[in-house]
Structure 1
Amino acid sequence: MAVDKTKSTADRRLAAGTQEYDVSYFAKKHGITAADARRIIKQHGKDRDAADKAACRLRG
């Protein structure tokens, strides 16, 4: 059975952050350590925009 993408409840602006690959991708994307990435994701929850901004501020 094919997936009906019109009924998707997922919001692409929200980051899961619970899987190690999410953390490593986020860390690599922003050039920060995995520990910093975990902290930022935990602090900002699923709000990807806020997490991205925090990572940019951290990096300088």
Structure 2
Amino acid sequence: MSDDTTKTGQDRKLISLNEDYEVRDWSKTLGCTPEQLKAAVKAVGNSAEAVRKHLAQK
């Protein structure tokens, strides 16, 4: 994944838990806590769409 926060594309399809700003931004976007985000990625992988669906089921 790119570390350039201005780039979109593949970065918006995958969630990286290695970057603090990504965890913060994805948590805000998905309306969950960082802990919930990390649990969802662990459960379904780092696809943003899969994580969205997983969180919606909760």
Matched residue type, 1:26: W
Gaps of 5+ in 2: 1-8
| Larger CA Rg, structure 1 vs 2 | 1
Tell me the TM-score normalized by structure 2. Answer: 0.59
Query: Which runs of structure 1 show a deviation greater than 4 angstroms over 4 or more consecutive aligned residues?
Result: none
Identity of aligned residues (%): 21
Structure scoring higher RCO (CA < 8 A, sep ≥ 6) equals 1
Partner residue in 2 for 1:31? 31
TM-score by length of 1: 0.58
The CA deviation at 1:52 is: 1.2
Q: Give the number of aligned pairs.
A: 48
Q: Which runs of 5+ in 1 are unaligned?
A: 1-10
In structure 1, what is the Cα distance between the partners aligned to 2:33 and 2:51? Answer: 14
Separation in 1, partners of 2:25, 2:47: 16
